[in-house]
Structure 1
Amino acid sequence: MIHGFIQITDTHIVAPGTLVSGHSDTAQALRRAVETINAKLPLWEGIDCAIVTGDLTDHGTPEEYAHFLSIMDDLALPWIAIPGNHDQRAPMRAALSDAPWMPSTGPVHWVRDFGAFSVIGLDTLLEGAHHGMLCEEGMDFLDTTLTAIGDQPAIVATHHPFMHAGLPAMDADNLRNGAAMIARLGAHRGPVRMLSGHVHRAVTGQIGRVTCQIAPATCHAVLTDHRTGSAPQLVLEPGAVTVHRWLDQPGAGLVSEVIPTGLFPGPWPFEA
């Protein structure tokens, strides 16, 4: 049986009627993502839930979380989330206190068993900073979970990536103690992958035996600028979500597809 999930990341919801940086309508972008997912779900076999990998809001205020939830209420899937550097734990916890995966105190770590693999959500938020850190409690949670799942494949979901995307302004704000996480994943007996957000672009790399994958945002993208010393800038490229499905053929593994959000002409048969 096929199992999978949809990764939504960096929604950056602000107060109703407000644009991020005066240009990006993040609420409309998330609505478009939800509409796209709902429309395509009948075509995607085995999708169990959505995972939101951080930056649900832009400032972490109760008003922003309420706005985020009002849009996500229309999603035809259950969902789980971890915070990003634009989130705040206390307001996020208060807004999601009824969610079964939300811990009552401390960092927002969780694990979900999909049968063929497990996803381990890790909170890398360091409040007051743009870069990420996995706390000692998070390292312990990762160790305990990896031991518990044995040789089952492990997918770790974080907001901050550890791999560099080649964008100096974003790479400076990655997961600062990610080497310790990668070492733990590299020692795991089963296949491993690390999924992240934060960079607002689709980027894939490899660190040792760990495949590292950064997902694009639902809203604006970060300009691809590889020059040292350049400041980050946003561009209104199309938003996207990422569909992750575990396929058994030709070799068992997680297969990921970036899906642009919105309605497009078609579909039509290959031959008219």
Structure 2
Amino acid sequence: MPGFIQITDTHIVEPGALVCERSDSASALRRAIETINAKLSLFDGIDCAIVTGDLTDHGTPQEYAHFATLMAGLNLPWLAIPGNHDQRDAMRTAFADAPWMPARGPVHWVRDFGPFVVIALDTLLEGAHHGELGPDGLAFLDASLAARGDQPVVVATHHPWMHSGIPAMDADNLRDGAAMIERLQAHPAPVRMISGHVHRAMTGQIGRVTCQIAPATCHAVLTDHLPDAALHLVLEPGGFSVCRWIDHPGPGLVSDVIPVGNFAGPWPFQD
């Protein structure tokens, strides 16, 4: 059955540089791509990767060029939306020839997988850490939902609307997410929201909308639920999500978080 891989928060910097002088995000993405390529034969139906923002750390042309070079090693086509660390014009210039890149305006797009559709929304508010769809984004969502009828929908954003419990991250999520969720609640078919930004794997439920956050390929954000806690970077193993439509016992999208790396095994279970 059809599906996709979600990659998020790659935070690529210029060759030889480290994020916050500690995180080798390029090596982390390279390891993630190697892991995906090695496992692709096991992932039935996967036909693309979706990068949910923060492709780069500063949004410079040099960083996008480095990102493109790394992603050329992925044995899948890929699509992307920007995150708060990206710069829309530089990203558009870097990937102007990509079929998913609009010629102007926010980087919204739609991809039909048959049993379900992905509506990808640009939540970048340049100069801010938090995200916003704004009137244009909500109008794009309205038109896209209306065009799908009763087809199940996955909405992909960089900024989540669900809270993570990490106060500093929750302060910088999607500011007009309530308006988006209201629209998703009204859609007659199953709906799901997938996001990045938090650098951790999380799942929540808002009404009838399942909300998922995928882990970053590079560093993680420390889980710290204490009030007024400052954000800290931790070098936990990276990961990505595999999302596939499965028909039985009931039709729906199933997501599996895969850690990056090589691990002992596999071996057959013994009776």
TM-score computed with the length of structure 1 as normaliser: 0.99
Q: Deviations over 1:71-116 (max 9, x none)?
A: 0001000010000000000110000000011001000000000000
One-letter code of the match for 2:19? V
2:196 corresponds to which residue?
197
* Matching residue of 2:219: 220
For residues 15 and 26 of structure 1, the distance between their equivalents in structure 2, rounded to whole angstroms, comes to 10
Separation in structure 2 between the aligned mates of residue 156 and residue 206 of structure 1, nearest angstrom: 14
Q: Which residue number corresponds to residue 127 of structure 1?
A: 126
Distance 2:101 2:14 in 1: 23
Cα-to-partner distance string for 1:157-205 (whole Å, 9 max, x where unaligned): 0000001000001000000000000000000010000000000001110
1:21-40 equivalences under 5 Å are 21-40=20-39
Alignment match, 1:255: 254
Cα distance in structure 2, aligned partners of 1:171 and 1:159: 13
1:180 aligns with 179
Any idea what SS the aligned residue of 2:3 has? strand
* Contact 2:156–2:195 (Cα < 8 Å) also in 1: yes
Count of matched residue pairs: 271
* Equivalent in the alignment of 1:245: 244
Distance 1:22 1:12 in 2: 13
Name the CA distance, whole Å, in 2 between partners of 1:269 and 1:202.
28
Q: Mean alpha-carbon deviation: is it higher for 259-268 or for 62-71?
A: 259-268
Distance 2:250 2:230 in 1: 42
Distance (Å, rounded) in 2 between the aligned partners of 1:75 and 1:135? 33
Q: Residue 154 of structure 1 aligns with which residue? A: 153
Mapped partners of 1:265, 1:69: distance in 2? 31
Partners of 1:28 and 1:41 in 2: how far apart? 20
Rounded to whole Å, the distance in 2 between the matches of 1:54 and 1:135 is: 17
What SS class does the counterpart of residue 210 from structure 2 fall into? strand
Structure 1 partner of 2:90: 91
Q: How far apart, CA to CA, are the structure 2 residues paired with 1:165 and 1:230? A: 14
Q: What is the rounded CA distance, in whole Å, between the counterparts of 1:132 and 1:67 in structure 2?
A: 25
Question: Shift of the alpha carbon at 1:17?
Answer: 0.4
Partner of 2:69: 70
Counterpart in the other structure of 1:61: 60
- The letter of the residue matching 1:75 is L
Query: Offset at 1:136?
Result: 1.1
Give 1:137 deviation, angstroms: 1.1
1:264 deviation in Å? 1.1
Shift of 1:153: 0.2
Structure 2's unaligned 5+ residue stretches are: none
| Secondary structure of the corresponding residue to residue 6 of structure 1 | strand
Where does the alignment leave 5 or more consecutive residues of structure 1 unmatched? none
How far residue 57 of structure 1 moved from its aligned partner, in angstroms, is 0.1
> Where do 1:139-150 residues align within 5 Å?
139-150=138-149
Separation in 1, partners of 2:42, 2:256? 14
**What is the CA–CA distance in structure 2 between the aligned matches of 1:29 and 1:9, rounded to whole Å?**
12
Output the amino acid matched with 2:151.
Q
Three-state SS of the structure 1 residue aligned to 2:97 is: coil
Q: Does 1:101 align with 2:121?
A: no
Percent of aligned positions that are identical: 73
CA–CA distance in 2 between the matches of 1:246 and 1:135? 30
Contact 2:134 2:176 survives alignment (8 Å): no
Letter in 2 for 1:89: R
Q: Is the 8 A contact 2:194 2:213 kept in 1?
A: yes
How much does 1:271 deviate? 2.0
Q: Which amino acid aligns with 1:208?
A: G
Q: Secondary structure at the match of 1:226?
A: coil
